[in-house]
Structures are given as structure tokens and as C-alpha cells.
Homo-oligomer: A and B are copies of this chain.
Amino acid sequence: MERNTFAACLRAVRENAPLVQCITNFVTVNDCANILLAVGGSPTMAHDIREVEESVAGVQALVCNLGAIEDVEAMRLAGKKANALGIPVILDPVAAGVTTIRRSACATLLEEVRFTVIRGNASEIRALALHQAGGSGVDVAAADAVTENTLPAAVALCQSLAQSTGAVVALSGAVDILTDGVQTVLLRNGCPTMSRITGSGCMLTALLGAFCGANASPLPAAAAAVAAMDLAGERAEALRLQKGTGNATFRTDLIDAVFNLTEEQLTQGVHYEVYQG
């Protein structure tokens, strides 16, 4: 993957202005819509089972965010329709291992829908890959967090999930892992304050919809989306430290930074490597 691929993927988003349908949770739905508008896409949050199939026929990507656990049937219907139409589908398995219905929902969705990208934190990816219960709440469990020591095992887990599902797997953490099961890319951008707002993960998943809706190759598209989010986080963190503000201003500055992100910033700022495992 070339360094200028990131910028090319961002340019495609702005040129194509993809319409992204998100079936997503009520906690962060407004942020997801605004970050889609910030990056140059357009959001629709239609999620009623009576209209999702009709709605998805007019969009460039579909995002299924399991935070909306009550909308799993809508995700299944919309996902199958998107598959039939060749529209990319992104899965965010929020709190995948935490409760019985979430494990069951993941199993159903993975069985019936082909996902283009699956994005989660280490606990969620582990729960999907190993069909395990685990964790509480929506944040990564301390024991699951990826460190330099546990990186090879985490990469192997992501590759295994990518191979079994056919999806690009994007594991978010201090190191971001992206893999299609063959090629694996690591990104080392972002900042700790991203975990002090709700919706960092959900917003990234929305961006994955925009990037996959505007670019044909999922792995570079996903890597560019992750890089865009992380660099926006770095910009917002710099502003927070400079202004002495907190997590609420950080959230606003993060979306603003996506709005103002240039191709040059992306090319120059991204810290990535192709993983040689």
C-alpha cells in the first residue's frame, strides 16, 4: 500500500459524496450523521424494517452498528439486500461478547450477511473470532487491549476472522490493525482522549461506510478511513492541550478536523506499516 493511497481514497469520498445508510444506536447517531457530512458524504439513518430494503437500494454503503441491538432484523434485511445489489456493508459489533442476545445477533448477521469491513475494539473482535463471551460495557477490557507484546497474536486473530468471513477486519486500539486475511496494515495514530468521548468507534464505522462507498478496494479504503479519524483525533488533541478544554470540545474539534482534513495532512501525518508477520 502506497502512502498516496490514503489521500486518493479521501479524494474519492469528496468527489463521490456517498450516501451512507446507518442502522445505528441512539447514543451517537447524531455524531455519526455529522461526521459523514464532515467528510463529504451524506447520511440517512432509516432503520424501520418496513423501509430498510427500499432505502438501501438508493445508497452507496450500509453501516450496521450493533449498538442498535433492537434493530438486528433491520440489519439482516438491509444487509441481504445490499449484498444482492453489490453495496458494501460495514459491521460494528458493539459489545459483541457482553450479553447473550449480542452473541446471538452476531452469529445471525455473520451467517446471513457478507460484510465488507468488520470494525471493533479488541474485546469485540475477540468475541467474534472466538465465539466467546466476555467484557462488560462498550469499552475494551483491559486484558484484551493490544500491546506491542500481544500484537502478533492480535494480528493472527484478525487474520483468522478476515479469512472466515471474507471481510476486512479493522481492530481499533493504540495500534490499529487492518487485514483482509492476506495483507495486513498497522496504523499508529490517534490519541487517548478518543476514548474519553462516546462514539469514537461509531463515528469511525460511519466513516468506513463513506470510504467504502466511494472506493472499490476495501483494505485501502478502510485504512484511509482509520487514518482520517486518527489524524482528526490528533488535531483535536493538540487543540485541547492548547486551549485547556475537555472531552466535549474535543468531540466538536474532532468532527471539525474531519471537515477540514486535507489530502496533504493525510499523506504526511499517517504512521503506517505493512505488517510482515
Give the B-binding residues of A (Cβ under 8 A). Answer: 19, 25-31, 33-34, 37-38, 42-46, 48, 50-51, 54-55, 58-59, 67, 69-70, 95, 98-102, 136-139, 196-199, 244-249, 251-260
Contact = CB atoms under 8 A, between A and B. Distances in A.
B28 A30 contact: yes
Contacts of A247: 34, 37-38, 255-256, 259
Contacts of A38: 196, 246-248
A25 B46 CA distance: 10
A51 B198 contact: no
Contacts of A25: 45
A250 to B, nearest CB: 8
Contact of A248 (B28, B246, B259): B259
A31 B29 CA distance: 12
A81 B58 CA distance: 36
Q: 9 shortest A-B CB distances, which residue pairs?
A: A246-B259, A58-B136, A246-B256, A248-B255, A33-B198, A51-B99, A44-B137, A248-B252, A54-B99
A100 B38 CA distance: 30
A196 B19 contact: no
A54 B139 CA distance: 16
Contacts of A257: 246
A59 B135 CA distance: 11
Given A27-B30, A256-B246, A100 B199 contact: no
A244 B244 CA distance: 19
A259 B243 CA distance: 13
Contacts of A256: 245-249
A197 B137 contact: no
A197 B36 CA distance: 9
A100 B197 CA distance: 37
A140 to B, nearest CB: 11
Contacts of A244: 260
A51 B100 CA distance: 7
